[in-house]
Amino acid sequence: MTVFPRPGNLRLRLTLWYGAAFSILLLLHIGVATVVHYRQLIAQSFRAANEETRTVEGLMYQTPEGQISINESYFNHPEVRLSLDRLVEILSPDGRLLFRDSKLHGVDLGGPVIPNEGIGSHNERFFTLSDGRKVMVVSHYHFFNGKPTILRVAYDEAPLYANVARFLGVLMLLAPITIVVALWVVYTVAGKALSPLSSMVRRAERITAERLSERLPVLNPSDDLGHAASVFNQLLQRLEDSFTQLRRFTSDASHELRTPLASLRSIGEVCLQNSHATESTEQYREVIGSMLEEVRRLTHLVDSLLAISRTDSGQIALNFSTFPLVDLIQEVVNVVGILAEDKDQTIHIAGSNLIAVHADRSILRQAVLNIVDNAIKYSPPETEIRIEVATIDNQIAEIAVFDHGPGIPVEEQSRIFDRFYRIDEGRSRLSGGTGLGLSIAKWAVEAHSGSIGVQNSEGGGSRFHVRLPQANGTS
């Protein structure tokens, strides 16, 4: 078990980031709480001073000498001991001093009389005495024995500041403890929350090119980590499929290349072993012709492999144009017609010349050519190959190619468009096929947002169809 998290650990970073954010918020909270506490103390002190003015008014009396004084003996009671902290000064409306508390030590409590000071309500203000003390002063206009007076009651702010300092000190003392506890809680919770991620990382570290079948654990598919694990598993599945396809492709390509190369070598070795002076020119021609046929098959295979490689890498750029499908099919028939003539086959084209598509003409022509070429190869001599062009709901253009071949088993119909796939290996090789034509046709059709498929015809043979979005304005 790890005693201290390694640098860069997500759990540690989350904890530190949260700790920093929590510390800042906590300090802001302490600052706001202290300011609020200070304002509350100020408000309470002013309310106490207002109440104290009424108390002092009741304690005022006139001495035999005609002076005004305060009955201080009242404050000897314990329940009013706090009132001893107050400072009192009494003035006449013209500013003449009538009474001053001994605790003021002869210092002015509020300075000159302010206009309308204390009249109607209590006047509250802060004041700094000449000896440096800061006080809170409350003034009230009061009639004593029928004569107007201005009563000033004040409290020193020092105890208030001391109270606020104690309050702030307690909060600051508790802050580190609170932060440490919060960090521990976050670190613990983050560890539990990230444990599925740690499990995913440990599992991912074991996945290699040879172990792509491994999958990340998905504890809860509905949460974010579960969704991420599901997405990564889907990615791994695609990678596994791609690697499997690549291995199969490499194996099949090697097998396809090996056959004509072995044939070339065999023909050459047999020719050398049997060569003698009596060999005729015609016999050499046959050998060279056989070798050239194998070279043709190799060239066709290499061209197909190159086309597939370019499609997989996205190097082929489509050049779109709008053209009638019947014209395209006629071009295809002109190319492969000679193959049909060799087998005494006829090709019949049916469909409206108004049905058009918006596509890359050369790419789509190659797809149709591969399908028609297959129909010619696998149809018996002296049969008809029918090509029909039609529309589906005036939106989809369909090319249907009917042949009289042996048909395709239902369980094989979804696989014949795979690369190098053959239903009958021997027959396909004899006919010169590489198992790539339909795969290229599928790519070409899907590159135009179309679909390709095959079904067995009711009268025998197969029906290949290519469906493409119909060009606007055609019917």
Q: Is residue 181 part of a domain?
A: no
Two tokens at 470? Answer: 């119909």
Q: By mean pLDDT, which of 208-217, 224-233, 290-299, 396-405 is the weakest? A: 290-299
Q: Is residue 294 part of a domain?
A: yes
User: What are the tens digits of pLDDT across the range 19-37?
Assistant: 899 999 999 999 999 999 9
Q: What whole-number percentage of the chain has pLDDT above 70?
A: 79
Model confidence band, residue 278 (pLDDT cutoffs 50, 70, 90):
low
Model confidence band, residue 473 (pLDDT cutoffs 50, 70, 90):
low
Model confidence band, residue 425 (pLDDT cutoffs 50, 70, 90):
very low
State the average pLDDT over residues 260-281.
Answer: 66
CATH number at residue 109: 3.30.450
Asked if 290 contacts 268 with a C-beta cutoff of 8 angstroms, the reply is no
Q: In 459-470, which positions are buried (b, 16+ CB within 10 angstroms) versus exposed (e)?
A: eebbbbbbbbeb
- Complete DSSP assignment for 234-256: HHHHHHHHHHHHHHHHHHHHHHH
Q: Is residue 301 part of a domain?
A: yes
> Closest by alpha carbon to 207, among 179, 172, 240?
240
| pLDDT of 426 over the 60 cut | no
| pLDDT of 300 over the 70 cut | no
Cα angle vertex 155, ends 142, 165, to 5°? Answer: 155
Model confidence band, residue 297 (pLDDT cutoffs 50, 70, 90):
low
Domain range for 366: 318-469
| pLDDT of 429 over the 60 cut | no
| pLDDT of 246 over the 50 cut | yes
Assess whether 88 and 125 both reside in one domain. Answer: yes
Q: Pick from 312, 347, 377: which residue ends a domain?
A: 312
pLDDT score recorded for residue 5? 46
Helix (H, G, I), strand (E, B) or coil at 320: strand
Helix (H, G, I), strand (E, B) or coil at 381: coil
Amino acid at residue number 21: A
Assess whether 300 and 343 both reside in one domain. Answer: no
Assess whether 324 and 431 both reside in one domain. Answer: yes
Two tokens at 49? Answer: 């001073």
Model confidence band, residue 396 (pLDDT cutoffs 50, 70, 90):
very high
State the average pLDDT over residues 116-120.
Answer: 85
pLDDT score recorded for residue 4? 41
Count of domains for the chain? 3
State the average pLDDT over residues 293-310.
Answer: 64
pLDDT score recorded for residue 39? 92
Q: Is residue 439 part of a domain?
A: yes
pLDDT score recorded for residue 421? 64
The total of other beta-carbon atoms located within 10 Å of residue 52's CB is 22
Spatial separation of the C-alpha atoms in residues 87 and 104, rounded to whole Å: 7
Asked if 89 contacts 101 with a C-beta cutoff of 8 angstroms, the reply is yes
CA-derived radius of gyration, the chain:
51
pLDDT score recorded for residue 324? 93
| pLDDT of 326 over the 90 cut | yes
pLDDT score recorded for residue 33? 95
pLDDT score recorded for residue 78? 46
Assess whether 332 and 456 both reside in one domain. Answer: yes
CATH number at residue 324: 3.30.565.10
Whole-structure pTM value: 0.48
Q: Is residue 280 part of a domain?
A: yes
State the average pLDDT over residues 200-204.
Answer: 79
State the average pLDDT over residues 246-252.
Answer: 65
Q: By mean pLDDT, which of 138-147, 184-193, 375-384, 428-437 is the weakest? A: 428-437
User: What are the tens digits of pLDDT across the range 46-103?
Assistant: 888 888 888 888 888 888 888 888 886 655 444 444 445 788 999 998 888 899 888 8
Two tokens at 451? Answer: 């679909």
Asked if 60 contacts 98 with a C-beta cutoff of 8 angstroms, the reply is no
Spatial separation of the C-alpha atoms in residues 459 and 442, rounded to whole Å: 25
Mean pLDDT, the chain, rounded, equals 80
The residue behind tokens 């492969």 is: 336
Helix/strand/coil (H/E/C) assignment for every residue in 122-146: CEEEEEECCCCCEEEEEEEEEEECC
User: What are the tens digits of pLDDT across the range 330-340?
Assistant: 998 988 888 88
Q: Is residue 322 part of a domain?
A: yes
Q: Is residue 388 part of a domain?
A: yes
- Complete DSSP assignment for 346-381: EEEEEE-TT-EEEEEHHHHHHHHHHHHHHHHHHSPT
Two tokens at 400? Answer: 């249907």
Assess whether 256 and 156 both reside in one domain. Answer: no
Q: By mean pLDDT, which of 181-190, 200-209, 337-346, 382-391 is the weakest? A: 200-209
State the average pLDDT over residues 152-167.
Answer: 90
Assess whether 445 and 360 both reside in one domain. Answer: yes
Assess whether 388 and 448 both reside in one domain. Answer: yes
Spatial separation of the C-alpha atoms in residues 418 and 423, rounded to whole Å: 11
Assess whether 33 and 159 both reside in one domain. Answer: yes
Q: pLDDT: is 344 or 199 the higher one? A: 344
Assess whether 110 and 249 both reside in one domain. Answer: no
Q: pLDDT: is 422 or 299 the higher one? A: 299
Model confidence band, residue 1 (pLDDT cutoffs 50, 70, 90):
very low
List phi, psi (to 5°) of 7. -60, 140
> Closest by alpha carbon to 355, among 323, 402, 387, 321?
323
How many CA atoms does the CB half-sphere of 325 hold within 13 Å? 30
The total of other beta-carbon atoms located within 10 Å of residue 375's CB is 26
Two tokens at 159? Answer: 């105890």
